[in-house]
Amino acid sequence: MSTAIDARPAEGLPVDGEPLLVVDDLSTTFATPRGPVRAVEHVDLSLPRGRTLGIVGESGSGKSVLSRSIMGLMPSYASRTGSVRFEGVEMLGADHSTLRKVWGAEMSMIFQDPMTALNPVKKIGNQITESIKEHLDYSSAQRRDTAIALLRSVGIPEPERRLNQYPHELSGGMRQRVVIAIALACGPALLFADEPTTALDVTVQAQILDLIADQQEEREMAVILVTHDLGVVATRADEIAVMYGGRIVEQAPTATLFREMRHPYTEALLRSIPRLDLPSHTRLEAISGRPPDLLHPPAGCRFAARCPYAQDRCRTEEPPLVAEPGDLALGYAAEGATLEGYLFPATYDVPVHATAAEALGAMLRRFDQEVTGEVAEALDARGMTVQEWVTLASMVQAEAASAEEMPIIAGVFLNRLDEGMLLQSDPTVAYGLGKPLPELSAVAGDLRRDTPWNTYTRPGLPRTPISNPGRDALHAVLEPQRLNEDGVPYLFFLHGTDAGVPVFRPNTNLSDHNRDVVTFLRNDGRR
């Protein structure tokens, strides 16, 4: 017997290639005694049939309100503006009878809290079959069989017996699975999953997400997955939208977002989750401060008060995100962001009457010439972005006394990244503190003063380049010397003097490195 899991009628499907859902400039405001709360502002998104959009952000960022605004599940004191088109039909302003035909059949939601989503005085079976009875022409026996099949599909044991039970007789995890079964009952075209695995253990989480994925593939169902778990969206979402303060601050395909995050808030979210490639003693970073007051939102970037990179302009206007790699240097120039790292050092013929902007443009265009197709292929093979390439090359440039040293220095940094070791580069610390390198003092605690560029306190590469690397440094990152003559990886290096002669000493282990430190400190030549 056919069940309601795959029973959604096929008529009314949109034309192939047309987005299932288009949201244009959607804003939602709640009227409160203290004034209007702008919970969602100026949201644009498009979702094709069969795709998954992950929405992430802290509590209070507007994720759940956005989902409910799209569905039209808003209280009377909420107002919406903008446009929500579902299968080509405008839903904003639709009357209640129209929405009732859509809810459950075309759009459905897995609510975060099953105790408030389920009716405490109605049996489980009646709650599951209610939507089926409303939207599908099934007999009483078919509705019962469908309910049993749904409960079994979400992993509830003895489904026949559970039909006659009330929500309070089930565990929290089982109640959550009932909510999921209700949401899938009529095979909706669009499923909102608001923290669908909150009350479930890890094993059941995977089962539920697999179930949603199976139903999605079978019905070409689109899914909007709202979650705090970045690990979930990393493996389940085709695209991710990051929300903060009621706005989408960054949106990109999943692989792109995790590889080339562009908003500081996205970076902060990713820094706050555990990673297997970091040492076990690494302390997770919390996002300092509190989310903005949406009664009186700030005039500029809403993350500025908590952002370690905030400038004065961020508090009065919202800076645009930097350009994508490929046209990165010119994109930075166009957006007015920092040009550090992209002003290619070379000899230029500059006209007498050339402006500063024209001179900078020439340097940026010269950098772009270095990003050849061969370079792009090499970066792709190494899983490295242009930004990461330039940042690492800038460190090599700052550390090296000659071009001959650069491949080994690049090898040391790359090996340390692979090992999950801190890079511990003095020039990055000096850059973050705004100090000349010779004035850097470990005794004064400079190495412990945290900035976004301190590679003694933060794992991985610094936030931005710290110098403008030349061709030798850029090439060294692409062709590093990572091993000594015995095939052992370099992990340390030191500049010093021996009898007044400059010496560059790479090492593969801490013991030999510390021996060299003692030697060169005795000669007062360590840099």
Helix (H) and strand (E) counts in the chain? 19, 12
- Tens digit of each residue's pLDDT (9 = 90 or more) over 32-66: 999 999 999 999 999 998 899 999 998 889 999 99
Look at the chain and report how many structural domains it folds into.
2
Q: Which amino acid is at 423?
A: L
At 522, is the pLDDT very low, low, confident or very high (cuts 50, 70, 90)? low
Statement: residue 437 has pLDDT above 70: yes
Any domain includes 295: no
Query: Residue 300: its pLDDT value, please?
Result: 87
Task: Give the three-class secondary structure for 128.
Answer: helix
Which tokens hold the place of 445? 């605690």
Residue spans of alpha helices (H) in 283-385: 328-335, 356-370, 373-381
- Tens digit of each residue's pLDDT (9 = 90 or more) over 371-412: 777 888 888 888 888 889 999 999 999 999 899 999 999 999
* CATH number, position 94: 3.40.50.300
On whether both 252 and 384 belong to a single domain, the answer is no
On whether both 201 and 75 belong to a single domain, the answer is yes
Which tokens hold the place of 307? 């952002």
Any domain includes 303: no
Query: Residue 503: its pLDDT value, please?
Result: 84
The structure's pTM equals 0.60
Residues 252, 64: Cα–Cα separation, whole Å = 20
Any domain includes 275: no
Any domain includes 68: yes
The residues facing 191 across adjacent strands are 108, 223
The residues facing 501 across adjacent strands are 498
Any domain includes 31: yes
On whether both 253 and 379 belong to a single domain, the answer is no
Query: Residue 78: its pLDDT value, please?
Result: 93
On whether both 252 and 379 belong to a single domain, the answer is no
- Tens digit of each residue's pLDDT (9 = 90 or more) over 330-375: 443 333 346 788 888 888 777 666 666 667 777 877 887 787 778 8
Q: Point out the domain boundary residue: 257, 281, 316.
A: 257
Lowest mean pLDDT among 38-42, 138-142, 257-261, 423-427: 257-261
Q: Point out the domain boundary residue: 196, 225, 257.
A: 257
On whether both 48 and 184 belong to a single domain, the answer is yes
Any domain includes 291: no
Owning domain of residue 172: 4-257
Mean pLDDT of the chain: 83
Query: Residue 223: its pLDDT value, please?
Result: 94
Residues 363, 341: Cα–Cα separation, whole Å = 11
Backbone angles phi, psi at 509, to 5 degrees: -145, 160
On whether both 253 and 385 belong to a single domain, the answer is no
Please answer whether residues 53 and 225 qualify as being in contact, where contact means their C-beta atoms are separated by less than 8 angstroms.
Answer: yes
- Tens digit of each residue's pLDDT (9 = 90 or more) over 449-497: 999 899 999 999 998 899 999 999 999 999 999 999 999 999 999 887 6
Instruction: Give 391's contacts (C-beta < 8 A, 6+ positions apart).
Output: 341, 461, 462, 464, 465, 466
Which tokens hold the place of 240? 């991710």
Residues 115, 179: Cα–Cα separation, whole Å = 9
Return the axis-axis angle of helices 406-419 and 386-399, rounded to nearest 10°: 120
Query: Residue 248: its pLDDT value, please?
Result: 94
Please answer whether residues 126 and 134 qualify as being in contact, where contact means their C-beta atoms are separated by less than 8 angstroms.
Answer: no
Please answer whether residues 332 and 338 qualify as being in contact, where contact means their C-beta atoms are separated by less than 8 angstroms.
Answer: yes
Any domain includes 509: yes
- Range with the largest mean pLDDT of 147-161, 248-262, 329-343: 147-161
Residues 144, 138: Cα–Cα separation, whole Å = 10
Q: Point out the domain boundary residue: 257, 276, 296.
A: 257
Which has the higher per-residue pLDDT, 318 or 150?
150
Statement: residue 22 has pLDDT above 60: yes
Helix (H) or strand (E) holding 25: strand 21-32
Statement: residue 7 has pLDDT above 70: no
Please answer whether residues 211 and 153 qualify as being in contact, where contact means their C-beta atoms are separated by less than 8 angstroms.
Answer: yes
Torsion of CA 416, 422, 428, 434, to 10 degrees: 180
Any domain includes 239: yes
The Cβ-side half-sphere exposure at 271, using a 13 Å CA radius, reads 19
Averaged over 106-125, what is the pLDDT?
Answer: 87
Instruction: Write the burial class of residue 501 (CB in 10 Å: 0-12 exposed, 13-18 middle, 19+ buried).
Output: exposed
- Tens digit of each residue's pLDDT (9 = 90 or more) over 185-238: 888 899 999 988 776 677 777 877 887 888 788 778 999 999 887 778 888 899
Query: Residue 24: its pLDDT value, please?
Result: 94
